[in-house]
């Protein structure tokens, strides 16, 4: 009911657009790859990769030529996207696993883009897309994983400590899969993709993680000698090989209606694992945790008080009303990964550094602040370091909807620079006069807001349209 009331069903038709799958030219190219009878599996995958690279390069060329009105070219600060380490677009994603039944895409390590991201070098950002009636083979990661279901619905099973936990997941569900826990899932929706946005926290090597699949032709069991497997399972080599060669190496497996019905069914026990539904790691619905709301936007937040498995990560969803604005504000400790799931707009950030080549001349010196701009559209990831003031603005056409992962959120404070309880309104009068060099009344005229709005307010384009109407 909440999703229908807020219009979030439209918002969560995200990943197909975010990763370019809605492009008709791309779909035509993919179709041509799939119908080539002379292609083996490897050639077909290479063909599909070329299709994606072509579209991504084409989008990059269009961005360089055009930009867009919401970017407000006349106000832009230094550099385009290639010069801006804080902005990642769909073309920056790499496809790690892909078949006709699903795809997992991941951004490169943040430190590959800039050494300014050393504070988040242990984190990776990815998107899992699973087609309807598709099963994702059992696997584990050498990393912790936090996921937000962005589209569709399914059943997720996690095996850990000799217990199997089964969860129904749907739009808005936040899930946690610890390192080493084996998980598998199925898209139970007959019509829609299951899409999960993922934040991966690496453990072994900073910024690197590996999937380990225990079934199929690509099973890690096949790395062992046959004699070892025969001894471990007390079974013949032929039988073991028959089991491990039962399907191909794709982790995405289409299932029949009968199999789907069985996978949906909840069972009390599956030998030798006991089903545990009382675990505290049960997924949390982010839309039950609204923190701020007014006519210009809504903010939903989940932290470790609501879901202890998040640790020092906070997950948030911001819905900025069209023409509205979030900020300006900054975070005291958290690095924010802000991923656009629907709508268009732009963001600005005040930053002492704007490129991987720029270094402060002296640590602690008073810097010269520059404007970092990000044109926001589905699939854009905007990285906001702690302490950097920023603002996000929705276009006049659509709501701007953003999923955020805040890293190092423990003891973080969100500091508003405008609106209710903003930083400047909390200064005493003498401090205002000394700091700004004008009377405290004049300072209050700027920073005291009669509307009593918190975080969200009218955006500049909205304000300009009202100004024109008054003339």
DSSP assignment of 152-191 equals: -EEEEEEEETTEEEEEEEETTEEEEE-TT-EEEEEE--SS
Q: Residues 117, 196: one domain?
A: yes
Domain with 245 in it: 2-275
- DSSP code of residue 119: G
Q: Residues 433, 405: one domain?
A: yes
**What is the total count of domains within the chain?**
2
Compute the distance between CA of residue 67 and CA of residue 59 in angstroms, rounded to an integer: 11
Q: Residues 262, 300: one domain?
A: no
Q: Residues 341, 449: one domain?
A: yes
Compute the distance between CA of residue 148 and CA of residue 125 in angstroms, rounded to an integer: 12
Q: Residues 257, 393: one domain?
A: no
Instruction: Give the containing element (helix H, strand E) for 401.
Output: strand 400-407
Backbone φ and ψ of 160, nearest 5°: -155, 140
Domain-terminating residue out of 240, 275, 310: 275
Domain-terminating residue out of 251, 275, 299: 275
Domain-terminating residue out of 275, 302, 330: 275
Per-residue confidence in pLDDT tens, the chain, 471 aa: 444 334 443 344 444 444 444 456 666 676 677 666 566 666 666 677 677 666 666 655 554 444 443 334 334 444 455 568 899 999 899 988 878 889 999 999 999 988 889 999 999 999 999 999 999 999 999 999 999 999 999 999 999 988 898 899 999 999 999 999 999 999 998 889 999 999 999 998 889 999 999 998 889 999 999 999 999 999 999 999 999 887 777 899 998 888 888 887 654 334 444 444 445 578 999 999 989 999 999 999 999 999 999 999 999 999 999 999 998 999 999 999 999 999 999 999 998 854 444 444 455 566 788 889 999 999 999 999 999 999 999 999 999 999 999 999 999 999 999 988 888 888 888 998 898 899 888 988 888 876 778 899 999 876 555 444 444
What pLDDT is recorded for position 31? 66
Strand runs labelled E in 236-380: 252-254, 269-270, 273-275, 284-285, 290-294, 297-302, 313-320, 324-331, 335-342, 345-351, 370-376
Position 281 in a domain: no
Residue 166: name the closest of 261, 272, 273 by CA: 273
Contacts of 212 (CB under 8 A, 6+ apart): 139, 140, 141, 142, 220
Q: Residues 190, 294: one domain?
A: no
Compute the distance between CA of residue 31 and CA of residue 309 in angstroms, rounded to an integer: 42
Q: What is the CATH number of the domain that holds 334?
A: 2.60.120.10
Position 434 in a domain: yes
- Can you list the pairs that 28-36 forms with residues at least 24 positions away whose Cβ atoms lie under 8 Å? 29/54, 29/55, 34/100
Position 30 in a domain: yes
Position 437 in a domain: yes
Q: Residues 270, 297: one domain?
A: no
Q: Residues 239, 141: one domain?
A: yes
Compute the distance between CA of residue 163 and CA of residue 161 in angstroms, rounded to an integer: 5
What pLDDT is recorded for position 191? 87
Q: Residues 228, 295: one domain?
A: no
What pLDDT is recorded for position 12? 45
Is-contact 72 51, C-beta < 8 A?
A: no
ω before 89 within 30° of 0 (cis)? no
Position 413 in a domain: yes
Compute the distance between CA of residue 367 and CA of residue 270 in angstroms, rounded to an integer: 61
401: number of Cβ within 10 Å: 26
Compute the distance between CA of residue 107 and CA of residue 112 in angstroms, rounded to an integer: 10
Q: Residues 88, 175: one domain?
A: yes
What pLDDT is recorded for position 453? 86
Residue 126: name the closest of 38, 222, 196, 37 by CA: 196
Q: Residues 34, 182: one domain?
A: yes
Radius of gyration of the chain (CA): 25
Instruction: Output the six-digit token pair for 14.
Output: 């995200």
Q: Residues 225, 328: one domain?
A: no
Position 282 in a domain: no
Looking only at the bridges linking them, the beta strands covering 273-275 and 163-170 are: parallel
DSSP string, 10-79: HHT--HHHHTTTT-HHHHHHHHHHHT-TT--HHHHHHHHHHHHHHHHHHHHHHHHHT--GGG-GGG--S-
Position 329 in a domain: yes
Position 60 in a domain: yes
3-state class (DSSP) for residue 385: coil
What pLDDT is recorded for position 230? 93
């Amino acid at each position: 009911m909440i999703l229908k009331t807020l219009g979030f069903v439209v918002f969560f038709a995200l990943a197909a657009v975010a990763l370019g799958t809605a492009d008709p030219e791309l779909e035509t190219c993919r179709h041509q790859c799939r119908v080539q009878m002379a292609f083996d599996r490897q050639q077909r995958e290479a063909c599909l990769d070329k299709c994606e690279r072509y579209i991504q390069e084409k989008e990059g060329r269009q961005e360089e030529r055009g930009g867009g009105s919401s970017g407000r070219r006349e106000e832009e600060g230094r550099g385009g996207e290639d010069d801006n380490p804080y902005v990642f677009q769909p073309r920056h994603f790499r496809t790690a696993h892909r078949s006709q039944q699903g795809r997992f895409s991941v951004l490169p390590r943040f430190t590959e883009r800039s050494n300014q991201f050393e504070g988040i070098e242990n984190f990776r950002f990815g998107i899992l897309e699973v087609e309807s009636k598709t099963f994702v083979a059992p696997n584990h990661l050498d990393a912790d994983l936090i996921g937000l279901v962005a589209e569709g619905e399914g059943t997720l099973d996690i095996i850990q400590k000799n217990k199997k936990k089964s969860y129904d997941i749907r739009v808005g569900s936040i899930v946690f899969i610890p390192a080493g826990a084996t998980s598998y899932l199925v898209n139970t929706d007959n019509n829609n993709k299951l899409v999960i946005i993922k934040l991966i926290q690496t453990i072994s090597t900073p910024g690197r993680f590996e999937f380990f699949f225990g079934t199929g032709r690509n099973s890690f069991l096949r790395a062992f000698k046959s004699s070892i497997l025969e001894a471990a399972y007390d079974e013949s080599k032929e039988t073991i090989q028959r089991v491990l060669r039962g399907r191909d190496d794709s982790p995405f497996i289409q299932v029949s209606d009968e199999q789907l019905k069985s996978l949906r069914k909840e069972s009390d026990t599956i030998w030798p694992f006991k089903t545990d539904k009382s675990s505290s790691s049960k997924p949390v619905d982010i839309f039950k945790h609204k923190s701020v709301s007014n006519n210009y936007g809504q903010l939903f937040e989940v932290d470790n008080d609501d879901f202890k498995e998040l640790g020092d990560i906070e997950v948030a969803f911001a819905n900025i009303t069209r023409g509205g604005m979030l900020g300006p504000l900054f975070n005291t400790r958290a690095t924010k990964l802000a991923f656009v799931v629907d709508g268009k707009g732009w963001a600005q950030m005040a930053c002492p550094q704007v490129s991987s080549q720029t270094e402060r001349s002296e640590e602690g010196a008073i810097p010269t602040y520059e404007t970092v701009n990000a044109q926001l559209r589905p699939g854009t990831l905007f990285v906001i370091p702690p302490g950097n003031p920023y603002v996000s603005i929705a276009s006049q056409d659509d709501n701007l909807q953003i999923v955020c992962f805040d890293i190092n959120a423990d003891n973080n404070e969100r500091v508003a620079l405008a609106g209710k309880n903003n930083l400047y309104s909390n200064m005493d009068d003498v401090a205002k006069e000394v700091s700004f060099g004008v009377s405290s009344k004049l300072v209050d005229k700027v920073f005291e807001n009669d509307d009593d709005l918190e975080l969200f307010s009218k955006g500049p384009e909205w304000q300009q349209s009202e100004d024109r109407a008054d003339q």
